[in-house]
Amino acid sequence: MNEPEKVNFIVKKLRSKNPVLITGFPGIGLVGNIVSQYTIDQLKLRQIGSIDSKLFPPIAVLFAGLVNVPARIYEGDELIVVVSDIPISPTISHDLSKALVDWAQRINARELVSIAGIATLPDEHIGTIASDADIAKMIRERTKQRHRIFGVATAPSVLEKLKGKVSIFGMGTVAGIAGSIMTECSLRNFPAICLLSETYGTAPDPRAAVEVIKVLNSLYGVDIDTEKLLGQAERIELGFRRLAEQVRKTEEPEVGERGLPLYG
């Protein structure tokens, strides 16, 4: 009997012929999660599938009393978004990245976008603050500051699209699942970009997500209203505190260009 695949994509038939594939896995600042989920909500994407793995932690995700799978796939107009509610440990990153790029090739995706955070801004250790009121005040101060976006790509032609829209890294590393996905794409000459937004350490950072969405709007001609996301900043940060703490325990920082720590 053949051993079952470590990672399985369970997906309905797609309508898209040549989609952009956006991936949002938990990482520093939960930038990928926030961008992906907000995009799904604003564009009213339909859920078309899920990702299953025997290497995922044994949990069920609940929403309004209903059970949902922790890693889900959504589709819109030539746009597919993958979002996960569980941190991806290093032990599964390679297998998940390989399966993801396999699937991207099967669906004829024209480009893959991997989204992550980069912790360069002062971290007030929000996870240690007990008062929701204090956290809300800190969030309001953070939303006043602009976050830079850094970009990398798997090919010169793809990198050219980023110039003038983000800061390009000349040298560095991208750790975690975001880095693993980019490496797998590079090995296969698959067009991909990674957008890294400055964050405040491990805490959920909606403002960082806003800046990524602005870049996505510019790159792919989507029209996602970011003002609504800023208005939800306090609720998002408070709601994602537990997941952010799980990510903090899972990931360790790497040092990138000019001493900047890069994260998946």
Question: DSSP state, 3?
Answer: P
Q: Which helix (H) or strand (E) holds 207?
A: helix 206-220
User: What per-residue confidence (pLDDT) applies to 263?
Assistant: 43
* Phi, psi for 100 (deg, rounded to 5): -65, -45
Cβ proximity of 151 and 230 under 8 Å:
no
Which alpha helices (H) appear in 107-172, and where do they start and end?
A: 132-142, 156-162
The tokens describing 260, both together, are 């900047």
Residues 32-60: b if buried by 16+ CB within 10 A, e if exposed: bbbbbbbbbebbebeebbbbebeebeeee
Q: What is the pLDDT along the chain (264 residues), one digit of tens a residue?
A: 344 578 999 999 999 999 999 999 988 888 999 999 999 999 999 999 999 998 888 877 777 788 888 899 999 999 999 999 888 988 899 999 999 999 999 999 999 999 999 877 555 544 444 455 665 555 555 555 567 899 999 999 999 999 999 999 777 788 899 999 999 999 999 999 999 998 876 777 888 899 999 999 999 999 999 988 877 766 666 555 555 555 555 554 444 444 444 444
Residue showing tokens 């938990």? 26
Rg (alpha carbons) of the chain, rounded to whole number: 17
Tell me the torsion sign for CA atoms 194, 198, 203, 204.
negative
Q: Which domains does the chain have, with CATH numbers?
A: 7-262 (3.40.50.10900)
Look up the pTM and report it: 0.82
Listed in sequence order, the residues at least 6 apart from 165 whose beta carbon sits closer than 8 Å to its beta carbon are: 149, 151, 215, 218, 219
Task: Say what the pLDDT of residue 57 is.
Answer: 83
Asked if 164 and 183 count as a contact pair (C-beta separation under 8 A), the reply is: no
